[in-house]
Chain A
């Protein structure tokens, strides 16, 4: 008879964020003996320093912005102001109300043992947490990623913000230079600009959000510069930063010309690296700086050790990490192994107008030389743009040659809500005709989806 090894736990989850939490609770509910280890704040990035606080602040900023521009609707808003400490209190309340931030007790109630401290593998089945050795038959690594300082001369000698720490600032700075025009950089640029900060964005590529389709880049750059007064320096690089009085002096190199800027604060919104420094060599887990390598079932090179979330190096959103965590839980509790399906994952940026994408973009189709059809419906042609007096945005749908929806981009108010119709279409392989013949309510933003789908059928 085969010898049965005894371990302290059936599963040890390292990291209590989106990638670890679901697997821990699901497997515990299925009767496995589970422990979870967290070396920082319980709940991980999303509820404590990521999505939840950022979106709570952006909600307040958008309300303030809309009210400020209410004169065209007959609203008197000349004396409108804000109290940033109160806005921060609102943000803290939002974190508390989600229930996920600092939620150690939640795991205790779910029969999951909790340990605080950095985890370090001693062998493939043994881990050390504060000198306490724990063994398990399976592990799930869901440690996420960390911001690391990019190699910019002088950056190590000054204090600077990351997208996490800027949410804790006591008040918006007068001037802010953002290094990196990615999703985080653009969201924070809009947040701070709305509260009156003069924002500069330095981006190495030729557009902000350079991974997105050109219509998105052009529109968001126009909104940022014309409506928010943001100065965007694309194809530019920060050559040097140094302290100058109470502020910072930044040398920006652009087209061979150096330009000097003086700003109060700097935000570094690039260079997130997976948190892999936990003695993975002792467990024979293959990894690189870019992340942990896994197979289609999210198993690492050591089969009983799984990994999920942004530690895989995919910079995944919270909902992707949750999906991966569910996959790991399923693979641990069922004999038939499943794989995560990434083809219909929505991607959101909570600017105003919001940006939401799903599936393949036009840029991707061109890069991969895929045959595709596209149609764009500008918001200005639907009734809602008139009643809301808002025209900056569009819905773009990408289909294959047979008309099956392969991807979509929405730039509109409430884009995060509108996109889910298109997520369903991509996920269930619906056609543009299916979308065009589905009744859409008059004066809803979603009417633009129907118009774009109808344009595809008509070949416009």
Chain B
């Protein structure tokens, strides 16, 4: 028995294929939107993973260091390192700045990490080129998205930094590429004021009679020196020894050090459930609407395709074809259209995904789910068309 559906498709295959490709581009847009949503969540997730920490110790009562500003003294780690269950600590400073590079401003997140030995908490987990930071100052590792090359010198605030390594997927929760620099430099970038402010502050202090008293030489100098110190960090990253319970250690730190400590689960909750919640919902809403629109368009296409074949179906009925055969033909065509659409969509999404400025993550389970939904929608849409086809009067084959 010949397959009616394929014979019909072959009859007008150009039209069928183009319809499929058009549909595919729409599905591609929907898949990309899902990818954008996943990418957003993943940006938050990699931020947590890349820090390599089990606990984040931040200023008491803040949601730092990513969601809220947090500032603690950089010698706090000494106390934390002594707590049972703590294997390693690392100070870290995070700040987002606008960096002028190649004639335009790029938003980057500066990450200050300790560099006295390789793989301290906070350091990038892997490199795609170059080497780790070895000098204590003025070297940087950049995410590829920052557009920097190995050996390039880039000016951040007051100093020039040499890019010694590149890494990938090291981004802030808002998708800005990270630039890793030694902690002491990051502290300077974060807390040291620019020259004009320094000069003005000095003049202000000198004009203050409390700091510039006659008969107390050295007081003014001491007051001014103490104003330009940068001895704070945003967080202490903690690695636990094997078998230590994160919640217990976090509790110890909160209780005895009067700081706030977050475990990985809590940090995920802060970053993913709270920080990117509204923008993720925004994308999610758009994704839902796009899915509904796609479904509607698939239904319309299949319906109009069927209605365009009114005469052929009437002839089939006239020569005594069973309803089952006609329904099967329409369903098969709808599913074929769905399969072509899905394949085109997945290819399209795969091709244009990397061109997006922010990360687009196309998950296999999303693709499989999308495939199932596309086929379901096609089947449902074809049921409307089948109903219309079955209602066609065989007499239309002769009349009309």
A binds B: no
